[in-house]
Structure 1
Amino acid sequence: MGLTEGRGPKTVWKNPAELIRVLAPENPVMVLDRSRLRATAQRFLQGFPGLVTYAVKSNPHPAIIRTLVSAGVQGFDVASPFEIDLISRLAPKAARHYHNPVRSRSEIAHAVEAGIKSWSVDSRSELQKIFERVPVENCEISARFKLPVLGAAYDFGSKFGASPELTAELLREIAGRGYIPSLNFHPGTQCVDPHAWESYIATAAEICRMAGVKARRLNVGGGFPSHRIGGIEPDLTKIFDAIETATATAFGADRPELVCEPGRGICADAHALVTRIKAVRDDTHVFLNDGVYGGLTELPQIGNLDRLQVLTPEGVRRGGAPVPRVIFGPTCDSLDRLPGEVNLPADVQEGDYVIFHGAGAYSTVTNTRFNGFGQMTYLSVQSVF
């Protein structure tokens, strides 16, 4: 995926500006602030009323996994054999929840051999495949349901999740076969509306009543937002409180244990992506050394990151008045463009560095080598500013 672990005269840089002054990197650099990652993990561990599991797919870099384990994270959401094996190697004592609800039979066999005990399904056909191959003893199967999207950047329900009625049938069959019956959902990525969780939790309680089954656990998904818009930081505490109150109200004495699986909400803000301006074409369009085929892949889907800084090659911040610019990536492809226009200082020049703060999720993992571009170095800093 074009990602290389940085090796240089320093192991940890003070900040991106110092790195720019000393290294003058020509290719994109993703910088990680481990202290911020630990702080965010602690925020979830102390605030969320249940088990916190990290969604490995958002950024599986070993430095992240090791930092989260040292911060106290004891569970991981794994969505493939690769991720199962990665966590088995890096965090052998951690819980692994295989919550990708559609798998091949060979993938199921791999997971059984690896000792996976927590599964998710959203259809009769996939449930039957699990019944055929997964031992019953101490094994949890979560039925995944969906509702219309509310307050999220895009809808996971367009691909995954059963109707509440079908979910009740699945839950009843899971319990009848002797597996541990549980439920899970995903409110949609970058979900900033606490009411989305409230609606799902109320529906989960209704599903249990329809099925006549008490769910052991309720996984309230990922979707926890990161800080993408300058000056508007998501209120995670408000979301945690809404989840706690909604669960107590909806379930009462039959309250299930809660689980969450944040990816973006944990890893994104601990990173910054350092890109360089290749050209300012006739003082209009800006061309970067990274774009939508690299570390900025998801921006056309969920919108621009506007927490930007522009630094000179000497690490000095540009201070010109903001001017809307069209930003293109480096490839010879007209689709390689950030959505809309992005405000950059009027005095930007070729050779300057544009830093995208909060870019740690779905960036290194979706980076390609299309057109020969995409080389990215991963380095540590004491602060991402």
Structure 2
Amino acid sequence: MLQTPIVADTADTPATWLARHAGEAPVLFHCPAALDARHARFRAGFAGEVTYAVKANPDPGVIARLVAGGMRGFDVASPAEMALVRGVCPEARLHYHNPVRSRAEIRAGIEAGVVSWSVDEMGELDKLAAEGVGRGAEIAVRIKLPVQGAAYDFGAKFGASPELALALLRRAAEQGYLVSMTFHVGTQCADPRAWTRYITACAELAREAGVTLARLNVGGGFPSGRDGIDPPLEPIFAAIVEACAAFDTPPPLVCEPGRGLIADAMAYAVPIKARRGDALYLADGIYGGLSECPSIGVSRVELLPGDGRAPAPTLPFALWGPTCDSLDRLPGETALPGCASEGDWLLFRSMGAYLVGVTTCFNGYGTYERAELARLWTDPSRPLG
């Protein structure tokens, strides 16, 4: 872990841990059993190789836990992530699927033993060849489509149009590369039809290009349970297999989940510093561990009263962060028990993705404690994560 977590008693919940240990800093609770369970669910349900997108949570402890569970493939986006993974798992297979790289980064990837490179532009493919990515290396052509169903679209930044993808497939094959394809449906996508559309398009393009794909990487985008509902992974797994019937020869599959693997294994407890009418001022906000809220919304929140009092009927609250910046406000209004007050805690679920590695120390805030729990929720009927 980036910080050594305090290991709690096996009977502890976030509420009981906070009652005994909490200070004024937010606390990131980690449940290793929940991560193990989600990893096992992917390995049992996905019909191909399961890898991990390191950007979602670059905690060495998370990577080590996944390696212990059998993972050997990782999606890395920079030389620093390559070094991080190699330090934990020297034999790891590295997929460098950030499709824009400097020449120095390409050389670093070659030195690190990258086995797969994505491309979405002709100049980037030429750059790989010029810097020494030789014949036989895997080149994964990344496409983008106007597909709905995600919290936000990844195609706005990366991905080739179908016409350009066709040209890239032909050029990569002519240059002697091992030709694959990849895509990303967008983050927090719960609609299996998004994968179906992409896979069907990949099959059509491969056929038109006259290539047999070495692999098909269906990317990430798998949802977490941010809304408190178990994420619908199995229908997505089934849709992926069914869609591959569009290929003359279905290629081996790879996926690169980040959020879908790690988010539900962590919860984030943030103390309330003050209440002003229907506004709550928190000890963290959008510049810290809650940085995703403006782009993806507020995950399910549970009020943990500091004195154990009974909950009251819910009211809509504005949630403000601790900095002096007036932008430091969570979007919309959040329904919480009307008894919420200074000294209480808010427990945000599914916070394992894009908190570690993204949190800043703007205005002197952003530090948090770590604690390891056997379960994350007070209600024993809920899943571990």
Question: Shorter-chain TM-score: which interval?
Answer: over 0.9
Q: Deviations over 1:140-169 (max 9, x none)?
A: 010100000310000000000001111111
RMSD, aligned CA: 1.6
Aligned residue for 1:309? 302
Aligned residue for 1:72? 70
Change (3 A) 1:148 1:317: farther
The 3-state SS of whatever aligns with 1:166 is helix
Aligned residue for 2:213? 215
Change (3 A) 1:288 1:115: same
Separation in structure 1 between the aligned mates of residue 81 and residue 181 of structure 2, nearest angstrom: 22
Aligned residue for 2:270? 275
Post-superposition offset of 1:330: 0.5
Aligned residue for 1:240? 237
Separation in structure 1 between the aligned mates of residue 51 and residue 11 of structure 2, nearest angstrom: 29
Matched ranges for 1:173-192 at <5 A: 173-192=171-190
Where do 5+ consecutive residues of structure 1 fail to align?
A: none
Post-superposition offset of 1:6: 4.1
Query: Is contact 1:117-1:138 (8 Å) kept?
Result: no
Report the residue type matching 1:72 in the other structure.
G
Post-superposition offset of 1:318: 5.1
Matched ranges for 1:1-385 at <5 A: 5-6=3-4, 14-230=12-228, 232-247=229-244, 249-252=245-248, 254-281=249-276, 283-305=277-299, 307-313=300-306, 316=308, 319-385=311-377
Query: Is contact 2:184-2:220 (8 Å) kept?
Result: yes
Separation in structure 2 between the aligned mates of residue 289 and residue 311 of structure 1, nearest angstrom: 15
Post-superposition offset of 1:8: 5.2
Separation in structure 2 between the aligned mates of residue 10 and residue 38 of structure 1, nearest angstrom: 18
Report the residue type matching 2:254 in the other structure.
V
Query: Is contact 2:272-2:280 (8 Å) kept?
Result: yes
Q: Deviations over 1:51-109 (max 9, x none)?
A: 10110000011111111111122211111111100000111122110100001111111
Query: Is contact 2:5-2:369 (8 Å) kept?
Result: no
Separation in structure 1 between the aligned mates of residue 7 and residue 116 of structure 2, nearest angstrom: 44
The 3-state SS of whatever aligns with 1:262 is coil
Tell me the matched-pair count.
377
Report the residue type matching 2:48 in the other structure.
G
The 3-state SS of whatever aligns with 1:216 is coil
Q: Deviations over 1:163-193 (max 9, x none)?
A: 1111111111111111110000000101111
Q: Deviations over 1:197-244 (max 9, x none)?
A: 0000000001101211111001001000001113x3321000000000
% identical equivalent positions: 50
Report the residue type matching 1:251 in the other structure.
F
The 3-state SS of whatever aligns with 1:143 is strand
Query: Is contact 1:294-1:368 (8 Å) kept?
Result: yes
With normalisation by structure 1, the TM-score equals: 0.94
Query: Is contact 2:150-2:185 (8 Å) kept?
Result: yes
Where do 5+ consecutive residues of structure 2 fail to align?
A: 378-385
Query: Is contact 2:49-2:254 (8 Å) kept?
Result: yes
Separation in structure 2 between the aligned mates of residue 147 and residue 168 of structure 1, nearest angstrom: 14
Change (3 A) 1:9 1:260: closer
Change (3 A) 1:240 1:154: same
Separation in structure 2 between the aligned mates of residue 317 and residue 114 of structure 1, nearest angstrom: 55
Separation in structure 1 between the aligned mates of residue 27 and residue 363 of structure 2, nearest angstrom: 19
Separation in structure 2 between the aligned mates of residue 9 and residue 74 of structure 1, nearest angstrom: 27
Query: Is contact 2:218-2:256 (8 Å) kept?
Result: yes
Report the residue type matching 1:5 in the other structure.
Q
Query: Is contact 1:321-1:345 (8 Å) kept?
Result: yes
Report the residue type matching 2:153 in the other structure.
D
